Amino acid sequence: MKPRDLLLALAVVVVWGINFVVIEVGLEGMPPLLLSALRFFFAAVPAIFLLGKPRVAWRYVVGVGLALGVAKFGLLFIAMDHGVPAGLSSLVLQSQVIFTVLFAIAVLRERPRPAQIIGIVIACVGILLIVLDRKLSAPLGALALVIVAAGFWGVSNTITRYAKPPDTLRFMVWVSAVAVVPLLILSLLTEGPKADADAIRAIDLSGIGAIAYLAFVATLFGFGVWGYLLRQYDASTVAPFSLLVPVVGMSAAWVLRGETVGLQQAIAAVLVIGGMACTVIRRRTPRAPQTTESGVLVKSGA
């Protein structure tokens, strides 16, 4: 990888890792579904007029928009609003790799590599350690929502495998556009018009900054650069960088939010990241660049 592209890959890792802390900041003054809706609104609306229509079938755009934009991010934001810390969220959400591989086996009829099976088992042990941690401050129900969110991320990855979008940025912009209206409706129904209106009227600079970061930096910059890298290099070169996202996320939560990590959580983190490594790192083969490896479209994060 060229030095410039290496720096770009690391920049995306940092952006997506810090993204979880930014979500926490945004949730301090705004209901979770409304925050998610605003994030996708500002990511999509200005860009769709510049980029044009998506270059894949609309059913794939709608499918990923509902699975990734509405279900995955909606559940993640709700879980974080109910007490799952930023660093822990960044780690547990990576169980999406497990779901992506399992869905690829069940739906796409792919044969799992032995390393993938080993990786799933290792990562599952790590997730189990987190759930059984008696010092865990996050409610188990909220933590379960993060795992369900990871499952929907796996669904969106599987749909993306079918879609094979030639332009990742354009695809994600339209996916974002699809998510806006359902999220707004769900926010009005569950969070209430008054709560939404009060949050918008009371928004401050930190709230505006959080929305801007989520929309323009994490979504447009992050996916734009990630898509560029996947067009320049094969997936086995790009995908391993995603393993660093929970490392950055947990570090940023520790430095910026004072989130501590106990011994059991630290061991669990090593197991989850190690399991992920087993599923996405593979021996390089001389083939054309791909955008469809299991778990490649990861760490949008949020």
Residues contacting residue 188 through CB under 8 Å, at least 6 positions apart: 196
Under 8 Å between Cβ of 230 and 168: yes
Query: From CA 251, how far away is CA 300, in angstroms rounded?
Result: 18
Q: Tell me the C-alpha distance between 35 and 69, whole Å.
A: 12
Smallest Cα–Cα separation from 185: which of 302, 24, 273, 74?
A: 74
First to last CA, the chain: 25
Per-residue pLDDT tens digits of the chain, which is 302 residues long: 788 999 999 999 999 999 999 999 999 999 999 999 999 999 998 778 788 888 899 999 999 999 999 999 999 999 999 999 999 999 889 888 888 888 888 887 778 788 888 888 898 898 888 888 767 777 889 999 999 999 998 898 888 888 888 888 888 899 999 999 999 999 999 999 999 999 999 999 999 999 999 999 999 898 888 888 877 886 667 777 887 888 899 899 989 988 887 888 888 889 988 888 887 766 555 544 444 433 444 444 56
- Which residues in 235-262 are b (16+ Cβ under 10 Å) and which e? bbbbbebbbbbbbbbbbbbbeeeebebe
